[in-house]
Amino acid sequence: MLQSEVQSYAKHRWLLTIAGLLFYVVDVLTDVLLARRYFQQKDYLWTALTLTFVLTGLLVTQIFSYSWYWDDINDPLQNPNGEPKISGMSREAIAALHLLGVGIFTRYVHLLRRGFRVLWRSSASCTEDQRRVEHQRLFCLATDLSMLKLFEAFLENLSMSFSFLTVSWALLDYRRCLRRSLPQIREMPSGLPTFTYLLYKLSTIISLILSLALLLLLSPFTSVFLTFLWLLGALYTHLKGAKFCTSKGMELLYQGVIGVILTFTFFNVKGQNTRVEMVVYYVFHGVLNTLAPVLMALLRPEMLTVSLLLAVSGIIFGGAVMGMVSILLYYLRMHPREGERRVGDEVDGEERETRRETRERNFLQP
């Protein structure tokens, strides 16, 4: 049955936000500790590369977060009274917090405080309409936060023990938050469907990254190939005409970030059916996953022992097969379809879309 109203922001979701904050802190610490270990081992090049990726992810997320706060202040739908503050913060305070690099932490605190007030303090005193509006705002805040974590996960994750899971969960979390924030879209079912979708992302990302690692061992010129894939992903995003930001500069930055994501996993940049693009994308990845171990065995057999190469190849092929089985199972049996309608590419009328409306119109398909 189609959702007639926005889903309630459940208390367990609020508790999961606390867990997400803790996981985010651990993720940042692992990258810092990794850089420290490289420095102690006098691997200054890897130290610089690690810090570069970490700082790039931090910088990009601060820029987007600040831009979205600024948009919300100027958005009559988000700030109908035209107040110079948003989330209880002035423009100057927002700028200072983002210059200090704590934009995501600020959003976590705001979401947790607002969620606590809505879920535990004001439920009895609110009308049904007020409750619906407040819960929708919570989901919109969660969607903003999930998108920022998704950007950062792809731009700065280097610690292998956390990277695969963090990236996969960031993709899943954003998808779930976005679907729940849209009244006309059925949410992703919990339980087995969520696990299956997470398994699809985790398996395909692991297999691809290991394949790329083998190719990098074969030749450093693989980095040129990765740069080409990134540019191709950014160009694809541009050609699809996906609009996400209110300024041209931010839109170009957004396209560059999505190009990074598309290098490692499929990500629908617009609310359209992308079955053909997804098939082409994973056929190409299948070719990479096949070529990498074969080329390593034929051209540089001395670099890895036979047992290690077999183990890595098994993970690559097993992950690819597991990912494809999971995604087929999800879309054939678990993906919510009945009663869904796809939002059109353009909005009727002459009124300009707000940032929130633009973001909600995009990414409706997985």
Cβ within 8 Å of residue 184, ≥6 positions away: 2, 3, 340, 341, 343
Instruction: Determine contact, residues 270/244, Cβ cutoff 8 Å.
Output: no
If you average pLDDT over residues 98-112, what whole number do you get? 90
Cα–Cα distance, 291 to 211 (Å, whole number) = 8
pTM score, whole prediction: 0.69
Residue 80: how many other CB atoms lie within 10 Å: 8
Structure tokens at 45: 């090049």
Structure tokens at 34: 């990794």
Q: What percent of the chain has pLDDT over 70?
A: 77
What interhelical angle do 222-239 and 192-218 show, nearest 10?
Answer: 140
Give, in order, the Cα–Cα distances in Å from 203 to each of 80, 198, 240, 249, 280.
45, 8, 27, 34, 18
Pick left, alpha or beta for residue 101 (phi over 0 → left; psi -120 to 50 → alpha; otherwise beta). Answer: left
DSSP codes of every residue in 57-102: HHHHHHHHHHHHHHHHHH-TTT-TT--SEETTEEHHHHHHHHHTT-
2-36 pLDDT, tens digit per residue, is 344 446 777 888 888 888 888 888 878 888 888 88
Q: How far is CA 95 from the centre of its chain?
A: 24
Provide the sign of the torsion angle of the four alpha carbons 156, 162, 168, 173, taken in this order. negative
60-74 pLDDT, tens digit per residue, is 889 988 888 888 877
pLDDT of residue 342: 40
Instruction: Determine contact, residues 366/175, Cβ cutoff 8 Å.
Output: yes
pLDDT of residue 143: 82
Residue 161: how many other CB atoms lie within 10 Å: 9
255-308 pLDDT, tens digit per residue, is 898 898 899 889 877 666 778 889 999 999 999 999 999 998 898 888 777 888
DSSP codes of every residue in 116-167: HIIIIISTTTS-HHHHHHHHHHHHHHHHHHHHHHHHHHHHH---HHHHHHHH
Cα–Cα distance, 337 to 341 (Å, whole number) = 8
Q: Which of 61, 53, 59, 67 is nearest to 250 (CA)?
A: 67
180-229 pLDDT, tens digit per residue, is 665 556 666 677 888 898 889 889 988 998 898 888 888 888 889 999 99
pLDDT of residue 331: 85
